[in-house]
Amino acid sequence: MLKKLSEFTNVDTLLMKLLANNAVKVIVEMLGEFRNLVKRLCENNIKFYAYQLKMERPFKVVIRNLSSLTNVEEIKMALKAIGHDV
């Protein structure tokens, strides 16, 4: 596996950990290397799982103390007006 990964990226920059279920966790520290590694794994039809990057995850918000009579569409429009995707 290390030999195959070395074809895709600089293995000196990877952190690897053997998990209990005989899986290997590979941690890539640089965003560019992460994207390149994912691209190359896809191109070579290698099965893998990647977590979504924090910067690409949507954020969730809870608005408290609103009346149950508050119109949800008005809230959505107000959030969109200040630039949020609802």
pLDDT of residue 43: 92
Dihedral sign computed on CA atoms, order 75, 78, 79, 84: positive
Average pLDDT over residues 2-27: 83
Res 11 pLDDT > 80: no
What's the mean per-residue pLDDT of the chain?
85
Residue 77 within a domain: no
Examine residue 34 and state whether it is found in any structural domain, yes or no.
Answer: yes
Burial 35-49 (b: 16+ CB within 10 A, else e): eebeeebeeeeeeee
Q: Is residue 27 part of a domain?
A: yes
- Residue 48 located in a structural domain: yes
Mean pLDDT calculated for residue range 12-36:
85
Domain assignment of residue 24, yes or no: yes
Domain span at residue 39 reads 2-52
Q: What pLDDT, on a 0 to 100 scale, did the predictor assign at position 73?
A: 93
Region 47-63 average pLDDT: 82
Q: Does pLDDT of 81 surpass 90? A: yes
- Is residue 70 in some structural domain? no
18, part of any domain? yes
As for how many domains the chain has, the answer is 1
Q: Residue 64: inside a domain, yes or no?
A: no
